[in-house]
Structure 1
Amino acid sequence: MSQLVLSEPALAAAKPKWAHTLFIPTACAAVSIILLLISTILAATPVRRYFAKLRGRNLDEHSSTRQPILRQRAGFFPDLWAHVKEHGGPTVFAWKSLRLLACLVLTGLTVVAVVSISEGHNTIGTNEYEIDIHSDLDALIKKRGNKHKKHKKKRAGWFSTAEWTEISLCLFYTYTTLLAILALTLAPRFRAVSNTHLVVLLLIALGVYVWRDLIPLVTYELHPADAVGGWLTWSRIGVLTFTSVIIPLCIPRVYVPLDPKNPSASPNPEQTASLISLMLYNFLDPIVWVAYRAPKLEYEQLPPLADYDRASYLRKRGLNKLDPLLRTKQRHLFWGLMEVFWKEYCIMAIMITIKALMDFTGPVGIKYLLE
């Protein structure tokens, strides 16, 4: 009896085509749609009124701070400028518009990839065994024997795995484009939700491409899974990196006052600095240069105090927890500080842990290079 030897691709054929890693962004987009629908339903007035009754509160008192401000229309350009200022200024609006343009580019590149596959060119790392092959040996042999007869019929009625994957990515990027539009047009509350979903989805998509195509570049044995796509693959990775990493790091943050009734006339630069500026302390460069060039720095030249550093806010936040005369139960000062500044301590602990772990990357990398 002759022995049937299965190749490695055939052994991997039991995995369904929907298990392809490039379907992860589309699945996450579906979860995002469900979460957005739930949040929209919960934000509806009848639902809020129902929950307000359950908690014994008045809906008008509970949601008075969320009432929209009606403005008189003064013309297209004045309304446009007011809308830009609501986003945090022209810089923030320009970055968001650039992100929308990048999402449109990603959608267009994916449409080109779908057309290329339909013309016989492959753009992702798939093989013919990923197309619905049973693990049963008899079914596999039968499918191999009738492969040429059924190929045209199957292609006429269904898409291949590569086509399904690219179509799903096209739907994903179309959804991110819609989120980018909503992040530019909706009210501030829903705008923030759309922006969060958009950033998370783009990071997930980039993570999938990093796992498939970038991590193999730092190894000796592995190769990028989607290298067959050529310029389509690398251009999408480049635009996706710019959209999901560069823009969130460089876009300035919008000033949100702690007390909406008493906002700062000019917020501290730390409150509006971008994430990369916070990490590199670039927001301090103007005051450093002024102090370097001037023989004396006047009090008026110092940046305004941030909301969360004001004595009135700090007193309201922690005096009742730190003052032993205001507490009925005596405890050590350490526990009071931990209760007040728990968020700051947690961030410091996470940063120290990350730094300690990253200190091992050099020795570990040298070890594997020498091996």
Structure 2
Amino acid sequence: MESWDTQVVINQNSTFIANGKPIRILLDSLAIPVYVAAFSVLVLISHLVLVSNFSKRLKARLFSSNVEVEDTPNPESSSTSASISAEVREHVARHGGWIFFTYKVARLIGCLILLGLSIYTAAASDDHLGSRGMNVFGKWSKKRKRRRHHKHIFTTHEWLELAMCLTYMYASFLALISVVAKPRYSKLVSKHLHVLLLSTTAVFFYRDLYPLATYTRAPMDLYEGRILWAKIVTLIFTSIVFPVLVPRQYTPVDPKNPMAIPNPEQTASLISLVTYSFLDPTIFLAYRIPHLSHDQLPPLSDYDYAQHLKAKSFPILDLKAGAKKQHLFWRLLRVFRREYIILAVMIVIQAVSSFAAPVGIKELLRYLESRGKDTTIRPWFWIGWLFVGPTVSSIAWQWYIYIATRTLVRAECIITQLIFEHSLRIRVKAETEATSATPEASADSSTLSSPDTASLEDTPSPDGESTGASVSGHQSSLTGSTEVDTLHSRDETLQASSFSVTSGSSKKGKAKESKPSDKEDNADESKSHSSASNLVGKINNLVTTDLANIVESRDFLLVLLYIPLQVIFCIVFLYFVLGWSAFIGMAAMLLLFPIPGYVAKLIQDVQVVRLKTTDARVQTVTETMNVIRMIKLFGWEKKMNERIAEKRDKELVWIWKRQILDLINGNLNFLIPVVTMVATYSTYVRNII
């Protein structure tokens, strides 16, 4: 069991033979980094051509547009320093400081080491492979007396090693550019270098590390000896360890207004983001002091500023800003498309890695049952798999929570801004129309009343009757001779935050009595004010309950993506373990599936009624607060309390129903899997018996 059955030898044409089949150069796995490097070269050349001044001038001529061409050098590069050390310090500061610059230098050294090792392997391959072969045990056979002459200049192995030398040379060139070039070019080539090094590491992992965990395969580059392991270690450090541990460089959203002190989240390393260790200083500070003030909290990230979120989202969400008329769901999905792509990837990783532990346990039990017979993977691999799988699943799930929570907060900020801006548009429009409708109202005869005393005559009493006559009589008795005419706007507006214009004309020694037509007009105006007060309740519900309902649906991908993947993987896995009994469990799950759907429908119906009762309660409370002085004046406190309590009691009834249905839904989530397991295992045991 401890031997490898794959033999690598050199034939007369100096072509590798593996399992009796010739390997072509273009299909060899070592050619993958070469393809990645060639694609990177094409992308970089295309990018340089597109951003060049010639391309900009050509685009300006073709499309007849004014395109600014940067003929002047960067102002950062125009500044000269007094000494070489000052220039070095300035260059290092532009690249993010000494830590990040040291990482770039270390990456350059690693690429040069890989280039040197590859050149040595290519130069020594003629002596090692031309005169010796490797048997199935990975040991070198006896040396031949002399090498046969071939019709080809290079062997297949030599072509591949030459290609790897060119790949590492290109990687070293990119690493050098990232060290000496300007920051914008350094960031560009660093991305290409990361992809190239990661692809090379993946190739060597498949060729030389994965076979160590099997009984039937041998490392394909074992002939290199210690040089192979030096290459792999260098690749792991340059492509994985350094990028994961080194802090990220701060990139301001607005280069003209960078943050003086960025948020730790923006400069934390990848491992710090995954483990949330960038929050440790704040947590320890809060532990040491009795109270943590807001000044001691980290500053808000510049990409979370309300101004930036508005500029990014309003062209898609706000119809007044030119957005397309679509459902709010699709517009929000366009705003957060990048976040939801990441969430979808994390869900797939979490769904796949959640089966790592069951698969590992199954393979270990099979190894113990067969005592190592007919197994291809070594047991230590599955033992490590039991740790790696849940770890990857946990990291994916935590990153999903991090991105989803950040999306939730940003969505709340954006929608709140959108609602209030629209509310301000309504108010400005109403005041403008009210002002233009009464040009005769002079500034000398008009007064602005506060929200507490505004429109007292239009407020209904707790008994349901209009209080216009009583308020007019009370006001006439106080002023002697005053005519109160309240001007209302034709549109609905916020009564709590608007002012009503009261114009009056004093009569000498006489007071006019209210006409019946005036009372009818007051009744109509009271209805309009009631709807205006209802608008206040609707706006309050929009920024509270309705907004909460919108952001709570951020996890819709769990229903559309995670649950189908889990069901498919579960059925496939259980079929290989339990056979046809897995389909019995699937049938039981399908039969019980309509029950949660029916409960969800009941929850939706109850939620609709609950929101209506909430609107009514908020409307009543808003009307009460608007006329709180009049309520105190007439002694209506008890009646208003009873009125609000009645609205609240109705709302509590529907809240109680919602909580009961949520409890039933939660119990069904535990009951349905139990019924499915009982149906599956009972049929499986009966089949065995």
TM-score range, shorter chain: 0.7 to 0.9
Partner of 2:215: 220
Query: 1:343 is aligned with what amino acid?
Result: R
Give deviations 1:116-165, integer Å, cap 9, x for gaps: 3233358x9999xxxxxxxxxxxxxxxxxxxx9x953328x622222222
| Alpha carbons 2:134, 2:223 under 8 Å: kept | no
Task: Please say if residues 263 and 301 of structure 2, whose CA atoms lie closer than 8 Å, have aligned partners that are also in contact.
Answer: yes
Alignment of 1:315-354 (within 5 A): 315-319=310-314, 321-322=316-317, 333-354=328-349
* Structure 1 residues 163 and 154: CA distance shift in structure 2, 3 A: same
Task: Give 1:160's aligned residue.
Answer: 155
Contact 1:324 1:330 in 2 (8 A): yes
Q: How far has the Cα of 1:357 moved from its partner?
A: 1.2
Structure 2 match to 1:208: 203
Q: Which has the larger radius of gyration?
A: 2
Alignment CA distance shift 1:331-1:114 (3 Å): closer
8 A Cα contact 1:125 1:227, kept in partner: no
The CA deviation at 1:26 is: 2.0
* Candidates 74, 93, 111, aligned match of 1:85: 93
Moved more, 217-226 or 289-298: 217-226
Alignment of 1:116-265 (within 5 A): 116-120=124-128, 152-154=148-150, 158-265=153-260
User: Which residue of the partner structure matches residue 275 of structure 2?
Assistant: 280
C-alpha distance in structure 2 between counterparts of 1:328 and 1:187, whole Å = 38
| Closer/same/farther in 2, CA of residues 344 and 277 from structure 1, 3 Å limit | same
The CA distance in 2 between the partners of 1:17 and 1:126, in whole Å, is: 20
> What letter is aligned with 2:337?
W
Taking the aligned partners of 1:35 and 1:125, their CA distance within structure 2 comes to 41
Asked if 1:30 corresponds to 2:38, the answer is yes
- Does the CA contact (< 8 Å) of 2:118 and 2:161 recur in 1? yes
Q: Which residue pairs with 2:353 in the alignment?
A: 358
Q: CA deviation at 1:320?
A: 5.4
Q: Is the 8 A contact 2:316 2:323 kept in 1?
A: no
1:56 to 1:199, Cα distance in 2 relative to 1, 3 A: same
Q: Which amino acid aligns with 2:251?
A: V
- Distance in structure 1 (CA, Å) of the matches to 2:109 and 2:323: 59
1:59 corresponds, among 28, 52, 67, to 67
Does the CA contact (< 8 Å) of 1:179 and 1:194 recur in 2?
Answer: yes
- The letter of the residue matching 2:149 is K
Asked if structure 2 preserves the Cα contact closer than 8 Å seen for 1:125 and 1:225, the reply is no
CA distance in 1, matches of 2:134, 2:164: 15
Q: Write the letter of the residue equivalent to 2:208.
A: D
Name which of 110, 113, 125 aligns with 2:121.
113
What's the CA shift for 1:187? 2.0
SS at match of 1:59: coil
Q: Does 1:104 align with 2:100?
A: no
Q: Which amino acid aligns with 1:49?
A: R
Q: Distance in 2 between matches of 1:222 and 1:329?
A: 58
TM-score w.r.t. the length of structure 2 is: 0.46
| Runs (5+) with no aligned partner, structure 1 | 1-6, 128-147
Q: For 2:221 and 2:180, how far apart are their aligned partners in 1?
A: 36
What stretches of structure 1 move > 6 A for 4+ residues in a row? 124-127, 324-330
Identity of aligned residues (%): 40
Gap change, CA 1:10 and 1:302, over 3 Å in 2: closer
Contact kept? 1:126, 1:162, Cα under 8 Å: no
The answer to whether the Cα contact below 8 Å between 2:104 and 2:179 also exists between their aligned partners in 1 is: yes
Q: Deviations over 1:348-369 (max 9, x none)?
A: 2221221111101221233333
Q: Determine if contact 2:53/2:70 at 8 Å carries over to the other structure.
A: no
Task: Name the structure 1 match of 2:586.
Answer: none
Rounded to whole Å, the distance in 2 between the matches of 1:233 and 1:34 is: 30
| Structure 1 residue 314 corresponds to structure 2 residue 309 | yes
Consecutive unaligned residues in structure 2, runs of 5 or more:
1-10, 136-143, 367-689
In 1, Cα distance between equivalents of 2:315 and 2:72: 27
Match of 1:135 in 2: none
